[in-house]
Amino acid sequence: MDIIKADKNSFEDVKKITHTTIMEIYPKYYPQGAVEFFLKHHSDESIVNDIEDGKVYLLIDDGDVVGTVTIGITLWTTFCYYYFIFDKNRKIIIVFLTKLHIYRLCF
């Protein structure tokens, strides 16, 4: 597992993971209006701005981008492919976030 900072070339991966997660998982827990809100909230412009601001990191597993974290001042947004969470040890996401938090504190 590797953690890398997203760059402009990562946009499609970040968007795909984000929107796939919202469309596949959110309808199980939220009404359709909320799902549409989150899709609009994570618009192309919003994703690009977060990448340009250096807030987005990618989780790479066996060469595949499987997750993304966007770090704000008070809120972290984590998206991960559903299959990855349940086919692997769930602790890997916590390790990812912990390492990322430590990295951000040190640099």
Beta strands in 19-62 (DSSP E): 56-61
Note the pLDDT of residue 102: 56
- Give the DSSP per-residue string, 78-99: EEE-HHHHHHS-THHHHHHHHH
Note the pLDDT of residue 42: 92
Note the pLDDT of residue 107: 47
DSSP state of 3: E
Supply the CATH number for residue 6's domain: 3.40.630.30
Which amino acid appears at position 85 of this protein? Answer: I
Q: Domain range for residue 82?
A: 2-106
Number of structural domains found in the chain:
1
List the pLDDT tens digit at each of the 107 positions of the chain: 778 899 999 999 999 999 998 998 899 999 999 999 999 999 999 999 999 999 898 888 888 888 888 887 655 566 666 555 555 555 666 666 666 655 555 54
